[in-house]
Structure 1
């Protein structure tokens, strides 16, 4: 738990501690759903109960602390190595907060969460344009053309005159090397194929450096096949033959776009899990947004955040050398896939289940296996 001064109270070293940041919109429904799913999975495999550290963020934090991401929340995260972040509706925040980094962006930058891992996998029971798809987008999360990530201070976008807008893109060898190692290590546990996506025929220096460094790193993994693709061709390939790809590594903006495309081809962004990580910290965060239009109506699909939480448990299992956390992650995936295969789904997938009903069904499947 968190003390009055914002510090995380010490607990037994074997107790998993996970931060819980509900966020905005449907976060108030899907974050508790993911929490209950994790608790069920931990119970099912005989793991210690998770110590959930609830921290304010978003509209709730503005109401209580006058800021969507209070210093007390960031200070508490300093004492944790894993947390679950719900979606935020930063576009709807009061005007004084709209020109700054989003809560998620601030957290990613503060903790250097350089790897954004986004699986796209079709599920039985869910209609998919690419029903055989099972790939992972490995997205470099700190550089590129994203104005909130490519400058030490200030924005990477600027206007020298009212009629001219410019953007700075940043690619460094260090960032390319570490995301490439992440991708190739991941591929070694999958089908041993990595596709490096770039646009070096136009952005020859920036994405050319990304491509070349990834290929150099790939030479250290002789058991993994390497391919390179231009991003425009890759978008077409995903639509036509998405099942042919295993691990796709690319820069920030390309990864953002291709992962959304892959998620929809695999069934829905409502299924699209996501993990942001460094070598020492990780944050589960669904790829979709806060969906304020359906917030509070018990209609939100919690699948993406449930699967993101499973990825977080996998990451913790590897880092802590604790196999039981990996078993709990497997239980979550089995619970979700079994529920969808049985035809239980929320409205966005054409089903009739409410958020609560879907969560209860997943939890029951987890506990009975």
Structure 2
């Protein structure tokens, strides 16, 4: 059985990042030990407001250089709107990293926990979001952005959809659907954005021919938001462009119980970054009340990605232990206040670690 050693980056970020990222590290360490895997070497790197003070930039070049030599990394949330200029107007840290490493796939699961305050019980879906182009102007040009003002009273943004990027994300989504419930939904707005999202829908349908065992349907984005609110439990894998995917995944996270439980991983074929779907929540930063689940489950997704890339069964076992530990803690009555509980961040982290350790004792 493969038992590799890994070096993973730790970027705490801003707001609640310095609370939820260490929680994820502690839980991953416990899971690795229980699974009999080699311990991870954690490499802390500067990022965010603190990096502006120490390195003169929120995403220092030295951080990007160091990330390139690691197996993956955990990125905490950032609060870029509070950065001083010129940094506030520049590409934010997560966008800078995604663009620098070509992380084209943003995988965002939404799964309800029993007793976890879900709007739709039984929700268990994954949104596969194309991460490099679409209608977010900071991601669809080689240099600069696709948003500009030819005059003080006119603002223009380009939305770019390409066959190559769409086919790439479609195959990622179909492979995931093939391994899950064999059902995939394409989300678009081809009735209005006929050329751009029309191309997205067309290319996804073309890729579907290579996956005859996957059932495929498609919805306009506005219809999809209504269906998710009432029937989220009927969906499995959803593939869409950048902006639609961002909005839908936030909605799906709340439907599953809380945005605080919404994980994600950003990946290419060679690099991956665990990143919670939520923001930095500066209003509760430093109070030890933040829900670390999203960051913890994002870290489990990173372990799964590394396990698949390196054919590492122990790492796969560790990822499963993280997920089971979180579920055990929540169903056992320990949760943070956004899920209806009263546990602090550190108390919830300790409960998950204890659940993972108890699993080792039972084995």
Q: How many angstroms does 1:14 deviate by?
A: 2.6
2:337 paired with 1:350: no
- Equivalent runs, 1:60-79 vs 2, <5 Å: 60-79=50-69
Q: 2:330 aligns with which of 308, 315, 340?
A: 340
Measure the CA separation in 2 of the matches of 1:155 and 1:313: 33
Q: CA deviation at 1:62?
A: 1.2
Structure 2 counterpart of 1:50, from 35, 40, 47: 40
- The answer (yes or no) to whether the contact 1:125–1:342 under 8 Å persists in 2 is no
In structure 1, distance between residues paired with 2:320 and 2:357: 12
Map 1:50-199; keep pairs closer than 5 Å: 50-199=40-189
How many correspondences in the alignment? 357
Aligned-partner Cα distance in 1 for 2:199–2:323? 37
Report the alpha carbon displacement of residue 66 of structure 1 after superposing the two structures with TM.
Answer: 1.2
Deviations 1:51-99 (A, max 9, x none): 1111010112112111111111000011123100000011001122011
Distance 1:220 1:189 in 2: 15
What's the CA shift string for 1:310-348, capped at 9, x where partnerless?
000000000001011010000000000010001111122
Cα deviation per residue 1:202-244 (whole Å; 9 max; x = unaligned)? 0000000000000100110111011111111111111121111
Q: 2:219 aligned with 1:229, yes or no?
A: yes
Any conservation in 2 of the 1:22–1:31 contact (CA below 8 Å)? yes
**CA distance in 2: counterparts of 1:339 and 1:285, whole angstroms:** 21
1:250 and 2:243 are equivalent in the alignment:
no
Q: TM-score, normalised by structure 2?
A: 0.97
Give the structure 2 partner of residue 366 of structure 1: 356
RMSD: 0.9
**Any runs of at least 4 consecutive aligned residues in structure 1 with deviations exceeding 6 A, and if so which?**
none
Q: 2:300 aligns with which of 306, 310, 324?
A: 310
CA distance in 2 between counterparts of 1:123 and 1:34 reads: 18
1:271 aligns with 2:261: yes
Q: CA deviation at 1:165?
A: 1.2
Q: Does 2:229 match 1:239?
A: yes
- Judging by fraction of residues, say which structure has more helix: 2
